[in-house]
Structure formats: structure tokens, C-alpha cells
């Protein structure tokens, strides 16, 4: 399993480091804030999808894994990453959105402004619809953490945990679809559509895991809840 762990460190590591390193580059080394934000967007978007795909890589240690085990590994990684995102970046914005909007040139706020600049200006104006989406996301993160806790404490045998995790996937699909469609139908006034990176990477690809991975969560969860509890083994994330 070391190869899988290494693959995930190599794909998720740059995602974790992108924002603090980018902030240092802009505010201490004088790098261009827009160009740096574009680089962060590419690292974040490609890194997330790469990390979620690692369970399907042709690694020697995974040759004996069934498709169900590979999907379960990818799903659990996605859920952990998703809930961490809800309870860090999104919760931070929800609590500090007024200060973030007023702190465009502050180093501490660049973690959000790297996305706001070109990606979605709604995070600077905080409309009620977006606030509602983020409240749902944070609540989803709390519910998901509860589900994961039940899952690991029961060794993967608690159906309540699986149902909670599946419920969060449904919320992901709804809130992300609404997030995308509300902006697209309005003509994308808050996204810099003159920029390929802002439109298709920062706004598009960076948010698309929450529109694609939930389907795997539902498929995985359905397979578990239709078995008897005794036949539901714990599936590790690695």
C-alpha cells in the first residue's frame, strides 16, 4: 500500500501547499497575483482529480483489488477531502466573508481571493443564494464527519454511517448543480469568461469533483446497504 500512499502524497501534497506557497510568492516575493492564482487553480484542479484516480492506477500492490475496493478507496478519499474543504475554506469564507471582501490586498485573505479574482466574484459580494449554498456545505461537512466517525468506529459495518455519507453526496449534487447553473443561466457575469483558466479551470474543473464523485459515492453506498451487516467489511482508504 505504500505505493498508493505515495501516489496520494504526490498528488494531494501540491494541492495543500499551493495556497500558502502562492501567498508567499505574491506578498513576499512580488509575484503577479493573477498569474499565481492561475497556477494555483491548475495545481488544485488537476491535483484533486489525480488523487481521486490513484486507486485505479496500475500499481503492483493493487493488482488483487476488485473494482468495488478501488471505488471504495477513491470514495473515502473524496469524502475526507470534501469535508475538510467544507470545514476550512468554505467555513472560513462563511464566517469572514465581509472581512475577506474588504481585505483584497491582505496576505491572509489571498487564499480566497486567488479564487475570487476571475473565478467567481460572488464570493466578494456574498449574495444570499451563495451564503445559503455555503451554509448547506458546512452543514454537509459536519454530517459527513459524523458519518465517517461512525464508519470507522464500526469497522465499516454501520448502515447508518453509509446512509449519512450517501445523503451528503445527494447534497453535493444539488448544491453544486445549483452553484453552476445559477451562474451559467445568468450569463456568467461573475466569471472572467475572457480567460480559459478562469472559466474552465478555476470556475469549472475546480468545482466539478462535487458533481462527478458523488455518483461513485451513491454506487458504493448502494452496494453496501443492500448487503447484510455481517457481509459489509471495512474497506480502508489505502
pLDDT tens for 172-228 read 999 999 999 999 999 999 999 999 999 999 999 999 999 999 999 999 999 998 875
Q: Distance (Å, rounded) from C-alpha 38 to C-alpha 198? A: 7
Q: Distance (Å, rounded) from C-alpha 165 to C-alpha 229? A: 16
Q: What residue ranges do the domains of the chain occupy?
A: 2-231
Report pLDDT digits (tens) over 94-138. 999 999 999 999 999 999 999 999 999 999 999 999 999 999 999
Statement: residue 81 has pLDDT above 70: yes
Residue 35's pLDDT band (cuts 50, 70, 90)? very high
Kindly report the number of other CB atoms within 10 A of residue 202's CB atom.
28
Kindly report the number of other CB atoms within 10 A of residue 11's CB atom.
18
Statement: residue 79 has pLDDT above 60: yes
What integer pLDDT is reported at residue 158 of this predicted model?
A: 87
Statement: residue 233 has pLDDT above 80: no
What integer pLDDT is reported at residue 2 of this predicted model?
A: 87
Residue 229's pLDDT band (cuts 50, 70, 90)? low
Amino acid at each position: 500500500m505504500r505505493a498508493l500512499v505515495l501516489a496520494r502524497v504526490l498528488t494531494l501534497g501540491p494541492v495543500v501547499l499551493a495556497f500558502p506557497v502562492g501567498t508567499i510568492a505574491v506578498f513576499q516575493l512580488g509575484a503577479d497575483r493573477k498569474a499565481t492564482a492561475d497556477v494555483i487553480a491548475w495545481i488544485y484542479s488537476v491535483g484533486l482529480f489525480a488523487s481521486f484516480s490513484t486507486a485505479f492506477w496500475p500499481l503492483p500492490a493493487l493488482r488483487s483489488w476488485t473494482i468495488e475496493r478501488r471505488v471504495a478507496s477513491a470514495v473515502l478519499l473524496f469524502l475526507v477531502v470534501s469535508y475538510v474543504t467544507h470545514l476550512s475554506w468554505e467555513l472560513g469564507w462563511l464566517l469572514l466573508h465581509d472581512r475577506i471582501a474588504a481585505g483584497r490586498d491582505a496576505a491572509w485573505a489571498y487564499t480566497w481571493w486567488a479564487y475570487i479574482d476571475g473565478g467567481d466574484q460572488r464570493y466578494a459580494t456574498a449574495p444570499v443564494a451563495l451564503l445559503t449554498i455555503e451554509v448547506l456545505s458546512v452543514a454537509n461537512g459536519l454530517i459527513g464527519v459524523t458519518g465517517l466517525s461512525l464508519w470507522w468506529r464500526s469497522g465499516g459495518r454501520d448502515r447508518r454511517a453509509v446512509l449519512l455519507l450517501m445523503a451528503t453526496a445527494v447534497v453535493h449534487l444539488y448544491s453544486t448543480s445549483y452553484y453552476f447553473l445559477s451562474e451559467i443561466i445568468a450569463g456568467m457575469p461573475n466569471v472572467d469568461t475572457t480567460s480559459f483558466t478562469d472559466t474552465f479551470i478555476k470556475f469549472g474543473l475546480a468545482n466539478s469533483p462535487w458533481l462527478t464523485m458523488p455518483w461513485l459515492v451513491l454506487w458504493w453506498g448502494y452496494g453496501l446497504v443492500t448487503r447484510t451487516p455481517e457481509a459489509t467489511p471495512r474497506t480502508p482508504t489505502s
